[in-house]
Amino acid sequence: MGKYVELTAATFEETIKEGVTLVDFWAPWCGPCRMIAPVIEELAEEYEGKATIAKVNTDEEQDIAVKFGIRSIPTVMIFKDGEVVDQMIGAASKQAFEEKINAQL
């Protein structure tokens, strides 16, 4: 069963450098982040082997959040071979995230 990857400063670059990666920047105190949490889990199962689905806890990984200029969560970024190619701010439906990933596959 596919599971999302919890990224840290040590694993971030290595994870996003190849292929398509969705990164959900979140924090435990954020209501809309919690709202999309089950959506992210479903995406991880759905895209197993096709794209990497990852999360960054901005509370614990502040350096990554600062690096990408995160000022609002949830922010969902799509990376392709290490580059940011798309991003969405705020909660959205599963279909909306799927469209963003599919556009890069």
Partner 1 sequence: MLDCAIIGGGPAGLTAGLYTTRGGLKNVVMYEMGLPGGQITGSSEIENYPGVTGEITGMDLMAPWPEQCMRFGLKHEMVQVERVSRKTDGTFVVSRSDGEADEALSVIVCTGSTPKRAGFKGEDEFFGRGVSTCATCDGFFYKDKEVAVIGGGDTALEEALYLSKICSKVYLIHRRDTFRAAPSTVERVMKTENIEKITNSQVTEVYGDAMGVTGVRIEDCSESRTWDLTVPGIFTFVGYNVNNTVLRQEDESWLCDLNDWGQVIVDLGMRTSTPGLFAAGDLRIEAPKQVICAAGDGATAALQTIAYVDEKQNG
Binds partner 1 by CB under 8 A, chosen from 51, 56, 64, 73: 73
Does 94 bind partner 1 (CB under 8 A)? Our answer is yes
Binds partner 1 by CB under 8 A, chosen from 5, 8, 19, 27: 27
Residue of 20, 22, 23, 33 with catalytic role:
33
Does 5 bind partner 1 (CB under 8 A)? Our answer is no
* Cβ atoms of 79 and 87 closer than 8 Å: no
Quick one: residue 90, left, alpha or beta (phi over 0 = left, psi -120 to 50 = alpha)? Answer: left
Query: Which window, 12-20, 43-51, 57-65, 77-85, contacts partner 1 (CB under 8 A)?
Result: 57-65
* Binding stretches for partner 1 (CB under 8 A): 27, 29-39, 42, 58-59, 65, 69-75, 89-95
